[in-house]
Structures are given as C-alpha cells and as structure tokens.
Amino acid sequence: MAPVNDPSSFSALSKCITRHLNLRFHVDFDSRVIKGKVALTVEILEDKYASLILDTKDLKISKVTANGQEAKFSLGPQHSFKGSPLEISLPFELSRGQHVIIEVTYETSPKASALQWLTPEQTAGKKHPYLFSQCQATHCRTMVPCQDTPSVKHTYYAQVSVPKELVALMSAVRDGQEPDPQDSSRSVFRFRQPVPMPSYLIAIVVGALESREIGPRSRVWSEKELVDLGAYEFAETEAMLKIAEDLAGPYVWGQYDLLVLPPSFPYGGMENPCLTFATPTLLAGDRSLSNVIAHEISHSWTGNLVTNKTWEHFWLNEGHTVYLERMIGSRLVSEQFRQFKAIGGWKELQESVKTFGANNPLTNLVPNLTEVDTDEAFSSVPYEKGFAFLYHLEELMGGPEVFMGFVKSYIQMFAYSSATTEDWKNYLYTYFKDKVDILNKVDWDGWMHTPGMPPVKPQYDTTLADACIALCQKWIKAKEADLKSFSEADIKQLSSHQVIEFLALLLLENPIPLSHVKRMQEVYNLNAIKNSEIKLRWLRVCVRAKWEEAVPLALKMATEQGRMKFTRPLFREVYNFEKYREEAVNTFLKHKSGMHPVTAMLTAKDLKLDQAKSTGL
Ligand code: BES
Ligand code: ZN
C-alpha cells in the first residue's frame, strides 16, 4: 500500500513506525501537570536514517536519549492547532529494519487540550480532585510526544504515580498497584495494552473511583455516588458484546469496562480500549440511551481494530460503527427499530448539512483536512452520510445478512492495521466480485467527494416514525383554536425514542408560535423530563419560539453538563435569540474556566468570541 500523508500530523511522513510505548507518568494535581517519561520503540524503514520527528503540543521537553545516549533535539515553530514538531537528531545512523529506543523526558502544560483537571467542587464527591484525558482526534500530542497519527499502531505499558487516596485507570488491562517507592503519600498503578492501537486511544483517568461488576468481562467505574446508577443503566453490556462478537468476530481486548465521567466530559462516549468513557447524561434511569454503549462497543472492531488511516477517512470509523450499533439495535429490539433509528440519522445529517451549508466541503464524506482543525470539522456527516452510504450498498448488494458478511470480512482483512477509503472500496470490489455490474452503477463520486446531502435517499420502514411525523404535522398545522385538541394522551403511547424523533422533526420546521409551545408544556409537561436527549430538543424548540422562561433553563443545561452535542447547540440557540445574546455570552464567560478546554474553544467560536485570534490580532 502506498504511504499516505496525514495532514494532521508532523510525524507521519517520517520513515519509521512506533511499535511500543513505555510510559511513566507522575500526576501532579497542585501544578496541574503530568511529569512524563516515554520510551518509544521505533522501527526504522529506510537506510542511513539519522533523525526523526514526533508530534508535540504545549510540551516542555527536557531531555531526549536514543538507546541511552543523549540526543540533540529542537522544537519547530508552533502551528496553531497541530503544535510543534520535535526534531530529534540521532547520535548514530540506522538502517532499514533496525529498532531504536527513544526516551523523552517532559512535562505537560496546565492548558493541555487532552486533559481536564477538575477541582473537588466539580466532582460528585466534592472531596478529591479529578483528571481525565480525551485524545481523539489530535490531542495525544499534548500528553505524550509521539507519532500522533492513526496510521501508526503500537502497544503500550504504563506506570502512573498518583496521590494514594486516588485510583488511576487507563485504556488498557490493569496490571497491579503498589505504594510509590519514591513517595509514601502516593501509589503507582500499572497497565498493559498488548494489542497494537493508535495514539488517539491512549487514555487516563485519575479520581476517587470505585467499581462494580456488571458482566463476566465488565465493570462500571465512577465516583461512588454514580456506581449503582451506572450498573443499572449499562446492564445490557454483556448481551451487546455477545451480539457484536457474533456480527463482527472475537473481541480481542480482554476486558470491556465502562467509566462514567463527571458532567464536563465533552462526548457521549469515547471508545478507549478496555475502558469506554461515558458522559453521565446517559444515566436516564431507563436504559433508553444505551445505543451509545452499543456504539462504543462496536468501535472495538471498527475504529480500534480497523482504524482510519488519517482523519480524512474518519467515516470508516464512525460510519461502520453506526452501522454495527444499529445492527445491535436490530437484534436487541427489532428490525423496525433499526429502520426508525436510520430515519433519525438521516435527519441529523440534514441538520448538519444545514448548519455547515450544502456547499461546504466539510460535508463531503471524505473531506480534505489540509490546514483544517479536526475538532472544527467534526459533525454528524461521517456518522450519518457514512451510515446512509453503507445502508444504500446493503440495499444494492442483497440485504443486511449479505452486507454484514462483507463488513465482517472487511474487519478481518484490515484487523490490526489502518485503512483508507480507497482500501475499503478495493476490498468491497474484491468481496463482491460477482456483483461488479451493480457496484459500477454506484455514484461513488457523489457519495464520497461531493458536498451536501447524498445523491440517493435510501428507503426506510416508517412504522415507528409515522406517529412522530403525524404529531409533528398536527402541531405545525394547528391554529390557535385547535390547541384545545392536544392532550397528554398524544405522547402517552410514544417511546422516549419517538418523543426525541417528534421534537427533532419540529426543529427542522420553521419555529412554532409561542402559544403552541406554551400549550405543549401544559399538556406534555416536557419541562419535567430528565432524559437528556429529549430535554435538549425541547429546550431548543422553546428558545426558538422565543419563550423567555426557557432561556435560563437552556443556559442551565448548557453549563451544568458539558457534552458538546448539548452545550454547543444550546448556547447557539440562546445566542440567536437577539434579546438574550449578551446573556449567552456572559454565561459562557462566567463558566469558561471550569469548562473542558476543547468545549470552551469551540463554544467561543460559536459565540463569535475568537475574532481577535482568527484575524491574527
Ligand atoms: N469516537 C467518538 C467520539 C469522538 C469523535 C471524540 C471524534 C473525539 C473526536 C465516539 O465513538 C462517538 O461517536 N460518540 C458519540 C456517540 C453516538 C454517535 C452514539 C457521542 O459522543 O455522542
Ligand atoms: Zn463513534
């Protein structure tokens, strides 16, 4: 396979591959710094090799050695989001096939974008500080100097020293714990990850953590206040793992644990190997948001075992993962449920295309990310255009059974390596060699390299969506005099998934009149609903209808949790309500210092507060 350039990394072009990392972390909560030492085992791929480049961002490098000999190094100029290349001159020359051990001694910055340091007040227990990482997509370089590109895979071993009241966990198998021989007030936790994985899957959490077993290979971890809630909410984990294994092949990572994070965790879930990170906003109390767990479980195959070679091929990770997630939904609930979720996904895609603009090249399935910050490119497009593409192919190739056969075989073919869209497409043609005529009719360019909505709209079964569509239409068409006809009974028969869908449909329409929203509250009492996905959409509907009483509720939800999928649209919605624009901005500024660094950065952009920075002033 031809070498691929990774536009998001400085190290990708170098003719070497990291095979293993040996990490030593000293976590210092007082200075909000990790003092680190990393030994990279690097395989050399060309002759007369004498220098290498690693990615770093906001790191203080104090020493570099190569096979124990001190090596000269320099940090290149700082790029706004890529960071600085660390150029290391080896004190000797190497040839193709040789290995070298590069050891870097360094410190992270308190503003490292991979890390959020929480005060005790920001935790559930209020007594101890807390630290968590989020490396995807390009933040690992703020925590570890490395080849921060998903085209490179390596194993790792880690030793982490933390205050002895706290527990450290990583995206790896736990390998023991002992008092820190250098400091009796601390403990050392050890971890091993024997399966090769990309740098973005390195993860760490340190806090007052406890756990409970929820299955033969699974525990739920969180502060003690949330352990039981988590154990209830995620009780289907083993059943989902079994279905996923049946669909995709053996689970190779050994343990599958879940960690429920504090509310500022910026994503719904993150597929860190052996330990999925999850937002506490999934704790609905009725397992209704467990599709996120099915999704993260699915990444154990698509993403973690088969990895996108660069972030331009992110849809290979997320599109296939959504495809598997919905297959699990089909087996666990019903095929109609899968179809219903697919309809919801199409609507998410419409929303994203609307937000970005239908001509925006970032709405391409395979975007060009040269000089593009991956955090800013992030959207539902790779998820939902990716899913729709796979579903379209499923329809053409003969249905779910047939197409799952391909997906399983694709996983086997590229397991333990990284793939591009081209690799995927070539393999699709190989697998369906008897159906090349059909494949040749696919509008590849329209699907993969054209902005906006896809060239074909797949057909989905609308059985479960019909009630949502009907209720939405009834509200849109209602005149003042019709408002009496609505009653609690309208949504009594709907599942929480259907209520989400009903509100999502309303959001795609023009805002409904204030009188309608008030009546909706009167009959459905949606203000009382705790389910975070319902609450998000309901508050957006209210603010869009300019219901002033909803503004404080929207800002409350935007700040008391920090999942970007919720926080960013809520802030944006209030910002667009002219009268409360200043309040949105002030609320953000008040909370900014306690927010996750990436959430704070992106919300500032949403609220147009980064003008000075973007114009270079
Ligand atoms: N890997 C993603 C989260 C992510 C993507 C973090 C890109 C950073 C950069 C994760 O698997 C994900 O997609 N989470 C979704 C779940 C949903 C699609 C079911 C989320 O966070 O909402
Ligand atoms: Zn995902």
As to burial, measured by CB atoms within 10 angstroms (0-12 exposed, 13-18 middle, 19+ buried), residue 68 is exposed
pTM of the model: 0.98
Contact in structure between 465 and 341 (CB atoms under 8 Å): no
Residue in 163, 47, 37, 24 with CA at minimum distance from that of residue 94: 47
User: How many whole angstroms separate alpha carbon 503 and alpha carbon 169?
Assistant: 38
> In the beta sheet, which residues pair with residue 209?
223
CA of 438 to the centre of ligand 1 (A): 33
Model pLDDT, residue 211? 99
Residue 3 has what pLDDT? 66
CA distance 524 to 491: 7
The pairing of strands 257-260 and 275-278 is parallel
Kindly tell me if the per-residue pLDDT of 142 is higher than 50: yes
- Residue 208 pLDDT > 90: yes
Residue 556 CA to residue 567 CA, distance in Å, equals 10
**Which protein residue has the closest C-alpha to ligand 1 atom 8?**
136
Instruction: Please calculate the CA angle 165-167-171 and round it to the nearest 5 degrees.
Output: 165
Mean pLDDT, rounded, for 412-429: 98
Residue 106 a catalytic site member: no
Give one DSSP letter per residue of 95-129, joined into a string: -TT-EEEEEEEEE--TT-TTEEEE-GGGSSSSSS-
Is residue 280 within 8 Å of 226, Cβ to Cβ? yes
| Residue linked to tokens 């429920």 | 260
For 585-593, what is the mean pLDDT? 98
Tokens describing residue 135 = 């490396």
Residue 612, pLDDT score: 52
Mean pLDDT in residue range 31-58: 97
In order of start, what are the domains of the chain with their CATH numbers?
Answer: 1-205 (2.60.40.1730), 209-300 (3.30.2010.30), 308-448 (1.10.390.10), 463-614 (1.25.40.320)
pLDDT (0 to 100) of residue 466: 98
Instruction: Give the neighbor-by-neighbor strand order of the sheet with 84-94.
Output: 49-56, 84-94, 72-75
Give residue 409's Cα distance to chain centre.
25
Contact between residue 566 and residue 558 where contact means Cβ atoms under 8 Å apart: yes
Give the residue whose CA is nearest to atom 10 of ligand 1: 270
User: Which of 140, 260, 267, 596 has most ligand 1 atoms within 8 Å of CB, for mutation?
Assistant: 267
Residues 324-355: tens digit of each pLDDT: 999 999 999 999 999 999 999 999 999 999 99
The residues pairing with 154 across neighbouring beta strands, listed in sequence order, are 197
Q: What distance in Å separates the CA atoms of residue 405 and residue 211, rounded to the nearest whole number?
A: 37
**Ligand 1 centroid – CA 352 distance (Å):** 15
75-106 tens-digit pLDDT = 999 999 999 999 999 999 999 999 999 999 99
353 backbone dihedrals φ, ψ, rounded to 5°: -65, -35
CA 240 to chain centre: 19
What pLDDT does residue 86 have? 98
- Adjacent-strand bridge partners of 36: 25, 106
C-alpha gyration radius of the chain: 25
Count of residues for the chain?
A: 617
Residue 2 confidence (pLDDT):
56
Rounded CA-CA distance 223/260 in Å is 8
Distance CA 200, CA 213 (A): 27
Atom from ligand 1 closest to the CA of residue 294: 19
Mean pLDDT of the region 245-267:
98
| The predicted structure's pLDDT at residue 1 | 55
Q: What is the mean pLDDT of the chain?
A: 97
Nearest-CA neighbor of 97 among 183, 16, 215? 16
What pLDDT is recorded for position 4?
77
Burial-class residue 39 by CB neighbours within 10 Å (0-12, 13-18, 19+): middle
pLDDT value, residue 615: 42
Annotated catalytic residue within 223, 236, 271, 296: 296
484-529 confidence digits (pLDDT tens): 999 999 999 999 999 999 999 999 999 999 999 999 999 999 999 9
Ligand 1 shell residues, CB under 6 Å: 136-137, 267-271, 291-292, 295-296, 299, 318, 378, 383, 565
Q: What is the mean pLDDT of residues 107-112?
A: 98
| Residue in the structure block whose two tokens are 């990583």 | 170
Write the DSSP assignment of 340-353 as a string of letters.
HHHHHHHHHHHHHH
Cα 538 to averaged position of ligand 1 atoms, centre (Å): 22
Q: Is 460 an annotated catalytic residue?
A: no
Q: Is the pLDDT of residue 613 over 80?
A: no
**Which phi and psi (to 5°) does residue 594 adopt?**
-95, 0
Instruction: Inform me whether the pLDDT recorded for 617 exceeds 50.
Output: no
Residue 317 has pLDDT above 60, yes or no: yes
The pLDDT of residue 256 is: 99
In sequence order, which residues have a C-beta less than 8 Å from that of residue 346 and are 6 or more positions away? 384, 388, 457, 458, 460
Tell which residue, 355, 362, 329, 357, has the closest CA to residue 344: 329
Q: Is residue 470 classed exposed, middle or buried when 0-12, 13-18 and 19+ CB atoms within 10 A define those classes?
A: exposed
Report strand pairing: 154-163 vs 16-28: parallel
Q: List, edge to edge, every strand of the sheet that includes 257-260.
A: 209-215, 218-223, 257-260, 275-278, 269-270
CA dist., res. 388 & res. 262, Å (int): 33
Are the C-beta atoms of 605 and 590 separated by less than 8 Å? no
Percent of the chain at pLDDT exceeding 70: 98
Number of the ligand closest to the Cα of 321: 2
Dihedral sign, CA of 297, 302, 308, 313? negative
Q: Tell me: the pLDDT tens digits for 162-194?
A: 999 999 999 999 999 999 999 999 999 999 999
Ligand nearest to the CA of 536: 1
* Per-position b or e across 357-367, b if 16+ CB within 10 A of its CB: eeebebbbbbb
Q: Tell me how far the alpha carbon of residue 38 lies from the centroid of ligand 1, in angstroms.
A: 28
Q: What is the DSSP string of 7-51?
A: TT-SSTTSSEEEEEEEEEEEEETTTTEEEEEEEEEEEE-SSSEEE
Nearest-angstrom CA–CA distance, 555 and 558 = 5
- Residue carrying structure tokens 């391909």: 406
- pLDDT single digits (tens) 388-412: 999 999 999 999 999 999 999 999 9
